[in-house]
Chains A and B, each alone.
Chain A
Amino acid sequence: MSVIVLLTQLLNGVQLGVLLFLLSAGLTLVFGIMNFINLSHGSLYMLGAYFGAAAYTATGSFLLAVVAATGGSLLLGLIVERVALARLYAREHLDQVLATFGLILIFNEVARVTWGPSSVYIDVPGTLVGAVDLLGLSYPRYRLFIIGVGVAVAVALYLLIHRTRLGMLIRAGASVPTMVGALGVNLARLNALVFALGAALAGLAGLLAAPLMSVQPGMGEPILIVALVVIVTGGIGSIRGAFYGALIVGIVDTVGRAFLPELLRLMLSPSLARAAGPALASMLIYLVMAGVLALRPQGLFPVKHG
């Protein structure tokens, strides 16, 4: 296994991590500030992908697709938050789980009715087609683009959180949720804003994933579980935690998948390694999370309280 392959696999891991970060950022804020478990966050990712795919197919412009995906899920997030979820902020977590589980079923059916049961595919935008040469190994240009977008969003979020009044309120809300209300801030509006921001990022993630993976009903749930792994590993309520958590999960998953079976083959018999390799590779992120939680229940980069 050469260094270049290792580097390329790391890049793959970063690309997955960046996608997970976009999805996790909103989830962790909603969780940290409103103490709300939103299982339907994955549905916003799915619908963002659908909105973007529809716009891209109709207009052929990827930029318009980005607008449609982020704008569409932002609006949808706002509506869902105001109509249903805002009523559940003060309720038990279990009621929130129940309601958002119901929402998942609804959104999946809406997608099925609107876009049909089979997958929708969109092409990589023209200028991003093809691969670039990275020291002898070719790497898809589009995946590099995803990394770029993700890092740009991370920087923008950092500036938003650390340099603006809104960011100050978000930080205050994440560390001392009760205090923000006392500051005379319109809590309902702050909640809606944070929720919508998270929804827009989820929609963007969905669109970015669309040319790589198919857009299909139910695509949000498996990745939601991984996003939950990310936010508890990183520390709930913390954007920084979500970022590092996402990178860790992305890299562990990719590198594990790539090298674990080979590693096992050095230690076990080939047939045993072939059976154990994929199983163990799939378990890896959960092993990491369980380890982190058992030793640091608050996650790796928790929000500082007080």
Chain B
Amino acid sequence: MAATAILLALAAVPPLCAALAQPYYLTLFARVMILGLAAMGLNLVLGFGGLVSFGHAMYIGVGAYAVGILDAHGVTGGLFHLAAALAAGAALACFVGTVCLLTRGIAFIMITLAFAQMVFFLAVGLKEYGGDDGLSISARSAFGPLHLDDPTILYYAIFAVLLLTLLAGHRLVHSRFGMVLRGAKLNERRMAALGFPVRRYQLTAYVISALVCVLSGFLLANLTRFVSPAYMQWQVSGELIVMAVLGGTATVLGPLVGAAILLLIEEALAAFAMGLPVGVEEFVRDHRLGALGLLIVLAAVGMRRGVYGALAPSAH
């Protein structure tokens, strides 16, 4: 129920924005969906696989840089962009995943961070593609008659990717593959004793989850028409974790809810106006991150299954 309501609300954003003549909110919600998509991707390994990756922002970067670099060389074909992004993401994820999955627990957290930092510094060192300053994109990915330059079309394209990912994610966690992945989270030893080559499944899950983040990066580059190493800072990886945990890691949709909460509350606090005395409102607006922090701590201490997890019935 809650899921349907959320998706209907997202679908209704463009006509509402048009009716209110507020195209800005289209961009805001597009951003929510893109980061939600990345958090959902991360959650495949984080929530369902029990593997805490602290480096998924690098795949957002891969997706975004694929668009940026190809664009810098005059390639505007969307299918080229997409193919290059996914191929590069898959290759990187296979390598990084293979090394990282030699470890477990905190070591896994830190080694994924290490790789993300290396890729981040690599991007900073890419002088011909802007280095630290980033790279602006001259034209959005071209998909024949699908003009992503139209904000509404771009919005619904993102929405469609989100819907497909949600559906695929939902099918996946209940499929044979999902059973193995979740089983390995609960008791890896037992899974091996049953005859599952656990690491192979975890690696596959890691690659799939990375590819969802690559998609998200591809969309982010098209939304902002700009790529920068800032997309893959460790803070972004941390925020993805926070979104997933805040929304609820036991559900496919939870991370999207977490992303929405984080971004929308910050936006709401930035425009905070409730008729309080002038100084107070100004104070809240200026120090909104502190207020956000307070809400996060309360959510962490008070809710065990995230916001969406507390609202919605369990996934299984």
**A and B held together in a complex:** yes
Selected from A93, A97, A225, A280, the residue in CB contact (under 8 A) with B242 is A97
Q: Find chain B residues with CB under 8 A from A297 CB.
A: 102-104, 107
Cβ contact of A289, chosen from B110, B287, B294, cutoff 8 A: B110
- Say yes or no for A172: interface residue by CB 8 A criterion: no
Number of A-B contacts (CB under 8 A): 133
- A94-B245, A97-B245 known; A109 vs B304 contact (CB < 8 Å): no
Contact A286 B238 (CB under 8 A): no
By a CB distance below 8 angstroms, the chain A residues around B122 are 279, 283
Complex formed: what's the CA distance from A106 to B291 in Å?
7
Interface size, chain B (Cβ < 8 Å)? 44
- Whether A187 is near chain B, meaning CB under 8 Å from some CB there, is no
Q: A94-B249, A286-B118 are in contact. Are A108 and B110 (CB under 8 A)?
A: no
Tell me, in angstroms, the Cα distance from A232 to B122 when the chains sit together.
23
Q: Which residues of B contact A294 (CB under 8 A)?
A: 99, 102-103, 111
Let me know if B46 is at the binding interface, CB within 8 A.
Answer: yes
Shortest B255–chain A CB gap in Å is: 12
Known A101-B238, A286-B114; judge A95-B245 contact (CB<8 A). yes
Contact of A112 among B99, B102, B287, B294 (CB under 8 A): B287
List the B residue with the shortest CB-CB distance to A233.
Answer: B110
- Given A94-B46, A102-B295, is A283 in contact with B301 using a C-beta cutoff of 8 Å? no
Q: Tell yes or no: A228 within 8 A of B by CB.
A: yes
Per-residue CB contact flags for chain A residues 283-299 toward chain B (1 = under 8 Å, else 0) read 10011011001100111
Any chain A CB within 8 A of the CB of B181? no
**Per-residue B-contact encoding for A225-240, CB less than 8 Å = 1, 0 else:** 1001100100010000
For residue A189, CB closer than 8 A to chain B, the reply is: no
A88: which B residues are within 8 A, CB to CB? 300-301
- Flag B140-160 by CB within 8 Å of A: 1 or 0 each: 000000000000000000000
A31–B287 alpha-carbon span in the complex (Å) = 31
- Name the B residues within 8 Å of A91 (CB-CB): 304
Binding site for A on B (CB under 8 A): 46, 52, 99, 102-104, 106-107, 110-111, 113-115, 117-118, 121-122, 124-125, 127, 234-235, 238, 241-242, 244-246, 249, 287, 289-301, 304
Q: Give me 16 A-to-B residue pairs in the complex whose CB atoms sit less than 8 angstroms apart, sorted by A's number.
A: A31-B106, A87-B301, A93-B52, A94-B46, A98-B299, A101-B238, A106-B293, A232-B106, A279-B124, A279-B125, A283-B117, A287-B114, A289-B114, A290-B118, A294-B99, A297-B107
